[in-house]
Structure 1
Amino acid sequence: MRSRRFALFMLVFLFLSLSAMPRMEVHAESEGIQVIRPAYGMINILVDVNLLNNQLAQYSSLSLRSFDKQELYHQAVQQLNDGSFDHRAFLQRYKLEPNSSMPNEKKPKRLYTHQLIQGGSFLLNKEAQTSFSYIFVLYDASGYPIYYKYAELPDIEVKMSTNPTIVALMYHHFTEKKEEQTSVTVHKDMFRKQLQALKADGFVSIRQQELLAFLKGDKRVKLPEKSVIITIDDGYESNYKLAYPILVQEQFYASIFAVTSYRGKTPSIYPHFTWEQASEMYSSGYVDIQNHTHESHYYGTTTGRTRPALISRLIVNNRLESQFVYEKRIYNDMKKAKSLIEQHIGNKVIALTYPYGSYNQTVINKAAASGHSLMYTIKEGVIRKGSNPHALPRINVDGKYSAKAMMDRIYTHLR
């Protein structure tokens, strides 16, 4: 009888011992862990495993909760500090999965993304932004807490305007070889310096959704006084391998306008990224995939010459397309590309870049009918209040531009 009682006692003691979690010191900073708050509704945690100390490097799980009610946040912090925090429930309910290891990195890095407001943006209404706090905890493989951190997030301090200047920059391909720089190929190191120059000059990157809200004319919408939109055309693999890590590290948003029929293929010299790679970029919170048509990025034969396929009635089977057939072809093409992106990636497609910058009124009509609200040209200029959302200008970033040359180019259009 005593042995049974003793065994039961030991089981209860063991259960309570395993359930009890230790009090841990809050580390103001820990090398290898970076908490990033972009200007929109999310928190990103970047973990560089090789920079963690021996104990933290063994972490298996990361859980994060954000709070918009300060009383709940302070209650949870108190529980963390006095050892009464319910780690089991926290790990089960608030565990984050890493988006993936960061690409093209010599040391393994993992990026975790947590949405504060689903699809939200503080920049549209700075005065009404919500105050947020967060707690995150690292756990080992047995669910034992080994590190935690908490903080109140500062408000976004950006000079806002109802009449901002918006610069859309156009990129294509990226390289690690200086001899490959061309008018459409930028060295990755220069790309980083250009983003840093934009930031130093006070530019804030915005997304397509913010631009659309502004151009719709709602007077309550405010954007950063200096706004920049990073656009990248075609969908080369270099976007994933070279540009994407830099965008995350420098905390810039970008829209990649992909030719959907090229995913995972090498239609010419350079390979294009796969749907899986595109999905990884989107999951970071810094990249969305928009439309550059499905298979209309080519010159086709029309009467007596070749012209961009999107703006031309083509000769097919020795006969010139009728206007009806032409309109149906380009509508179906843009619609298919939009559907494929939304199916494979999940982000809503609202923007299109015209192949070769060529468009006509028929293309505009069919693009709008197929669900696109923003359309970009290659005509240089800046976007301002009242700009035509169906013929938006962009500034091409030449591969031979230094960061200063790029900024000078921008300011020639701002004067």
Structure 2
Amino acid sequence: MGKKICVIICVLLLLSKCTYVFAEANEASKLSSITAGQKVVVLMYHHILPDEVNRNYRNNSAVISLEAFKEQMKYLYENNYNTITMRELEEFIYYKRPLHKSKNNISVLITFDDGYLSNYVWAYPILKNYGFKATVFSITSAIPEKSTEIINPDKLERISYEQMAATRDVFDYESHSHSFHKKDDNNVSYIVSKSKDEVLEDLQKSIYRLGSPRYFAYPYGEYNEQTIDILKELGFKLAFTIKPGYISHDNDPYSLPRFGIYPSTSLEKFKKILNLEVQ
């Protein structure tokens, strides 16, 4: 009699476990089917200057006008595009967690490379006004100890630690290396050409200064298998290139594409990027 009861209990426990596993698999399947139709557009900005004060960087592809940036953010807002955070993108890729409803199932992630002061002075208030979030990939060796509120348009100034702390309601600060945003004599990024120990040391410095960043933008968009292995070892979850493309839930998290926004990016081109019309 006792053996029969034990058998019955074991069978019931097994059935209960199978039911749980089936329900969990069914839920995962539902989430996957929802996320399968969703796309993410990652926008890559650098420096921003008003046209009237841009004397030195008119031929620099990394410097767009404040007027164009305003126009682009206004378009996102008025057309109900959902701007997401890095953590939301991480969960979308790793756990197939659906993103909030957005126009045409397209969500937008706004990023800035290098950590220029113009992101603080001009981009921050615009983004905050629209309720947008964004990520700044900082070159940590370039972060100044002292803050300046008045930007010198003839220099490439950076956001200070104090300013970073004051803008975390909008900006998430992540790594663009510590001092490896450079190229060697063969025109290869340090992040690729340096030894594993040297790259590890550089990124550990960046991690120390940012306080456990989870996301990385490859300097010049260059990387190799060693770079990816190091990022994984250090706990980075996502890494971004400068290759254009759209992100789906099944993208490789360590080779994510971004659309660079340049002075040559007209509003019409910007719209086409958002409408998945650019390859």
TM-score class, shorter: 0.7 to 0.9
Quote the residue 2:74 is aligned against.
Answer: 196
Higher helix share: 2
Give deviations 1:321-377, integer Å, cap 9, x for gaps: xxxxx10110121122122111xxxxx511100000000010011011111100000
Structure-1 separation of matches of 2:187 and 2:89: 35
Which residue pairs with 2:119 in the alignment?
239
- The one-letter amino acid of 1:409's match is I
Q: Which has the higher strand share?
A: 1
Which residue is 1:375 aligned to?
239
Preserved contact between residue 272 and residue 278 of structure 2 (Cα < 8 Å): no
Q: Unmatched 5+ residue regions in structure 1?
A: 1-160, 314-325, 343-347
Partner residue of 2:191 out of 295, 299, 310 = 310
Q: Quick one: which amino acid aligns to residue 351 of structure 1?
A: Y
SS in 1 for 2:275: helix
Residues 243-282 of structure 1 mapped to structure 2, 5 A cutoff: 243-264=123-144, 269-282=155-168
TM-score, structure 2 as length reference: 0.77
Deviations 1:125-175 (A, max 9, x none): xxxxxxxxxxxxxxxxxxxxxxxxxxxxxxxxxxxx523110000000000
- Aligned residue identity for 2:133: Y
Query: Which residue does 2:203 correspond to in 1?
Result: 334
Q: Specify the alignment match of 1:398 in structure 2.
A: 262
Shift of 1:251: 1.5
After superposition, where does 1:110-189 map in structure 2 within 5 Å? 161-163=34-36, 164-177=38-51, 180-181=57-58, 182-189=60-67
Which consecutive aligned stretches of 4+ in structure 1 deviate over 6 angstroms post-superposition? none
Aligned residue among 141, 148, 173 for 1:289: 173
1:306 to partner: Cα distance: 3.6
**Aligned mates of 1:403, 1:287 — CA distance in 2:** 24
Q: Distance in 2 between matches of 1:254 and 1:175?
A: 18
Query: How far apart, in 2, do the equivalents of 1:388 and 1:338 lie?
Result: 22
Instruction: Give the partner amino acid of 1:175.
Output: L
Q: Which has the higher contact order (CA 8 A, sep 6+)?
A: 2
Which structure has the greater CA radius of gyration?
1
**TM-score scaled to structure 1, two decimals?**
0.53
What's the RMSD between the two structures over aligned residues?
A: 2.1
Q: Deviations over 1:163-212 (max 9, x none)?
A: 31100000000001255444211111221210111223331100000000
CA distances 1:258-303 after superposition (whole Å, capped 9, x unpaired): 000001289x941111111111111xx11110000001000123xx
Return the alpha-carbon distance in structure 1 between the equivalents of residues 191 and 143 of structure 2: 20
- From the superposition, tell whether residues 364 and 257 of structure 1 become closer, same or farther in structure 2 (CA, over 3 Å): same
In structure 1, what residue type is equivalent to 2:242? Answer: I
Residue of structure 1 equivalent to 2:3 = none
What code does the residue aligned with 2:181 have? Answer: H
| Contact 1:382–1:413 (Cα < 8 Å) also in 2 | no
Q: Distance in 2 between matches of 1:387 and 1:216?
A: 9
